[in-house]
Structure 1
């Protein structure tokens, strides 16, 4: 982990994004990174021990047929990712967790200047949230091995496997918007503080 990321953790907040059951239902399809859940649970446990701010994000789709609609069982958090009673929850209906929510206001009131993001999916809500966070002036860390995404079909009908989608999006984030780190590096840094 770089010096910038290490120095930034003193005023950082962790934001798990859309770690919901709905992504296990059709039509989402084949995903990558089967270690996402284990890595995410390790991050949450370690972060909670530090007492730093933690704000959960849940996608509440406005589309009635969506697996993330509040009436669907898929709207629930995955096991081990439920907010604790004293942990705030921000709900959104678009990709970026900052759009149509009070997330920015909450972070500013907490004195946060760095956000640590992970969740589902790498290329959609995690990436979009990271980009907006960077544009708002936050330092952004994306824990790449605590995210996953799905196979996609391009405009010409060709399938792009989820690993390729993930690598491309993490590379784009790393080039311009965020520092991409792995779970172990972040845990090591937390233990060193």
Structure 2
């Protein structure tokens, strides 16, 4: 029997990204963390499972080293008592963690994925969720990314990267949704 409620997977909502912004990196979706807070509230209200993913850097220059300020979770996305916190060291929340084991043990088949960044850990986790057979939804207004320079020196805006990532994932690995629709469908579900 599958779990009737979806699980919320919150990927890497950590202070390192605030530090990147403060250092001049430009991002899209300035309201993404507010949408993540809305999702957390709705999932908590329904008693739906929540999995918090943290990235732990392994390179000496990483913004995500556990002893550094960037490792800490942003206040708006802090876990509540009893909510799972899973630490990963690569882009996918499924590699080197017990996330899949926990989901299978809970008979959870539907995932709602949000967090940062759209084209790195969120995308990798979403692709793997789809490949592993989970019914995944990616919340487009609850994830964000940063401007990047491509291999040929081309500048790509965060908005372009975000849109292309959503296009790549859409239908093949996940449904692309908005937070308000996730919350409305959660509220409409009966226990």
Deviation of 1:10 (Å)? 2.3
Q: Distance in 2 between matches of 1:23 and 1:75?
A: 10
- Distance between the aligned counterparts of 1:83 and 1:144, measured in 2? 21
Task: Assess if the C-alpha contact under 8 Å between 1:16 and 1:117 holds in 2.
Answer: yes
Task: Note closer, same or farther for the CA distance 1:145–1:174 as it changes in structure 2 (3 Å cut).
Answer: same
Say which of 135, 140, 152 aligns to 1:139. 135
Gap runs ≥5 in structure 1: 1-7
| TM-score of the two chains, using structure 2 as the length reference | 0.94
**Whole-Å separation in 1 of the counterparts to 2:122 and 2:181:** 19
SS at match of 1:126: helix
**Equivalent pairs, count:** 186
User: What are the Cα deviations for residues 104-134 of structure 1, in whole angstroms up to 9, with x where unaligned?
Assistant: 0000001000111000000100000000111
Kindly indicate whether the alpha-carbon contact (under 8 Å) linking 1:11 and 1:111 is maintained by their aligned counterparts in 2. no
Please name the residue that 1:107 is paired with.
Answer: 103
Aligned partners of 1:14 and 1:116 also within 8 Å:
yes
1:5 corresponds in structure 2 to none
CA offsets 1:66-117 (integer angstroms, 9 cap, x no match): 1111011010001121111211110001000000000000000010001110
Match of 2:53 among 49, 57, 72: 57
Runs of 4+ in 1 over 4 A off after TM superposition: none
Q: Distance in 1 between matches of 2:112 and 2:82?
A: 19
> Could you say which residue in structure 2 is the equivalent of 1:97?
93
SS in structure 1 at match of 2:4:
helix
2: CA distance, partners of 1:170 / 1:137: 19
Give 5+ residue unaligned stretches, structure 2.
none
Q: Does 1:165 align with 2:158?
A: no
TM-score by length of 1: 0.93
RMSD between aligned residues: 1.4
Deviation, structure 1 residue 9: 8.2
